[in-house]
Amino acid sequence: MLMMIGMVTGRWLDVEPSSMISDGVDHDRSNHENPTSYLRMGSSMLYADERCQSIYGFLPCADTMPEGVFLMIMYTYLLMLGEDWIRKGSQALFLLLGDKAVGASVFQVLMALPRIVFVIVGGVLSTESAAEYQVAFGVSMYAGSTLITLTLIWGFQIILSRDKLRGKGSLPGCEHQEDTQTNSWSLKHILSILNDTGVNIDKETGDIAVIMLLSLIPFATIELVAIINSPIIILFALIVSGVSLLLYFAYQIGNPWIRHRSLAYLKQENLRNRFFYHVQRLAEDDLVDEHGKPNFKAFESVFARADVDNDGYISRDELENLIEKVFELEKDNISKEYAKAEILTHFDDDNSGMINWSEFTKGCSKWLQKWKSVAIGSNSVSTNLWKQVEKVAIRNKRADLTQIEKIMPRILKQVLEEHELVTPNGEPDREKIERLFSQYDEDSDNEIHRHELKKFIETLHFGVSLDHDTVLEEMIKDFDNDSNRTIEKHEFVEGFIKWIDRAINYDPSIKDPKHAIAKFEEDSWAEIDEPMNTVKPKASFVYVIFGILVMYLISGAFMQSILQFSNAAQIPFLLTSFVVSPIAMNARMVVTALLVTRPHVSKNASLTFSQIYGGLVMNNLLGLLTLLITVYMKGLSWTYSSEVLSIMIPSAIVGLFALKRDTYPLWASILAMLLYPISICIYYVLNS
């Protein structure tokens, strides 16, 4: 209305975010290019080109802070999933290849990949304009993850694996409990715990700590850039880093003990899985009660079966028989010698070479607790198997397993392997079935009576502890057509022919009758055997490929969401890249260490710390090499000295501490965890 009444002076609106606000008056209507004559408004959401750009055209991005937080959580989960797939696949490949040098090298590279993928994606696979900023993020995150491993995770491992130290006597608190309870918070008692408890370390772990220190040589070389800022220094450091990595691979070929320790670390979980799986199948009760505590009655039948001479001890020969004939661990790719040595190491407390009942129950308790800890903190075979044991599933299914639909597939497979009841053209061999009948028809009256059939059942191995009388009744019910409580010759033959035909025709796509019967048995028992299904070779490759693909696709989107959140929340870039992101990526390891209470497993602690040091060696060498290749090929300026120092300082401190020590006292864990905030402060000062 005012404009209709008289002449007014107005102003133009524009959305250029970089412009200044004008005086609001358009003095020259013919020229709207004058930046001082009209008002410009920033960050308008009405224009599509001002909104965030989706990566790859399908991954979501965020315009607001709540959206950014949600995407950070979602992308973090996907990255953890990809890392878990890489870990699962690479571990399966390593176990499959055994202690071959190529298997160990591939395993170490794959395990280091999740930490350096941000450097790869940010530098090698990005444009030159975005490379410098994204590489800075990737390097900061990589350095922050290394710092967490050397401080928080290293310290938690000492706390959770603590035991009495060599030459320090009994654990404080194990004796004189009344005195301990009354003086539990006295200064003397606290100092005693800090100094007398911790982790006992073997010589090999100290040797790997030396290698970790040597892996810092390329880091020291690149720090020469601070003195001589020249591309020649970067090229020289690149060559030193590449040669160091090759020398490390060559050293492992000539000194296979490093890969043997990595393999032993993985085999420990594998052996526990198989051990308790077979114990549960043979036990007459459940391994854990309703409170999750060990049920020692369940172990009695297994101990009795192992103790052949009933002298109250499992000797070396009896243990070997248990491993080879009863558990058949070699079918699970676990060598008899390794299994025997490991079981004796963890069960034979008095080093007598024999295991008594007390040692057996104590060892089983420790392994159960350790197994539960690993299962809770991972997504693996251990998890599936522990859930089945914890739910008392085998006991609940045992009645179902005695049904004829479960019994006959397993009987057929075993009888087929021994007597070959199928002709070459895939038909049931009536003559051999009759011969099998005659073998158990002891009185030759053309009838198999209950006691004769029971002898036949007792020769079979069902893999679980089943009531033979129940199995007997099921077979009689299925084979005895005239209900006279005996199985006549024609009933026996026709019954087997019926089941053989059913098995052969179970899967029409399988032409080989032996394979068809094996498939019939496998599917019939899949529910009970499922927890022990390990990752197959082809599946392990699929896990690795998909894990790498997920991490590659998500890492760029994750970096974008972190940067958008940092800008929106006005959080310093250093804090998000060096602290927040590494904590998010290592959340599973940190939370597992915090929440899972493990038993005193000092015999395993050395392997755990060996894995930490060995993993850091590969992270250091491969991570720095990747960074230097990126900087050199992209022509980036070197601005990563603070990140390099944040890796070198804690690595040098922990490495020098572990150099000649055979024990890690509890007080060392406190110092290690204090090193984390101190290192963050040093990093902030260096960047300021």
How much is the pLDDT for 257? 73
* Range 583-590, long-range pairs (CB < 8 A, 24+ positions): 583/144, 583/148, 584/72, 584/76, 585/76, 585/79, 585/80, 585/83, 585/114, 585/141, 585/145, 586/145, 586/148, 586/149, 586/153, 587/76, 587/80, 588/80, 588/377, 589/153, 590/148, 590/152, 590/153, 590/156
How much is the pLDDT for 417? 67
Stated pTM of the model:
0.60
Q: Are strands 39-40 and 163-164 parallel, antiparallel or unpaired?
A: unpaired
Domains, in order of start, for the chain: 1-48 (no CATH), 287-391 (1.10.238.10), 399-532 (1.10.238.10)
Residue given tokens 């007597």 in the structure block: 419
How much is the pLDDT for 327? 63
Phi, psi of 459 (to 5 degrees): -80, -10
How much is the pLDDT for 263? 62
State which residues of the chain have pLDDT below 70: 1-52, 56, 91-105, 107, 115, 118, 120-131, 166-185, 259-274, 276-278, 280-293, 325-338, 369-406, 417, 461-468, 524-539, 587-604
How much is the pLDDT for 4? 45
Residues sharing a CB contact under 8 Å with residue 290, sequence separation 6 or more, in sequence order: 392
The CA–CA distances, whole Å, from 641 to 220, 222, 470, 536, 638 equal 10, 8, 73, 44, 8
- Beta bridge partners of residue 200, listed in sequence order: 663
Helix (H, G, I), strand (E, B) or coil at 155: helix
Q: What is the rounded CA–CA span in Å between residue 91 and residue 88?
A: 5
How much is the pLDDT for 600? 42
- Beta bridge partners of residue 199, listed in sequence order: 664
How much is the pLDDT for 35? 46
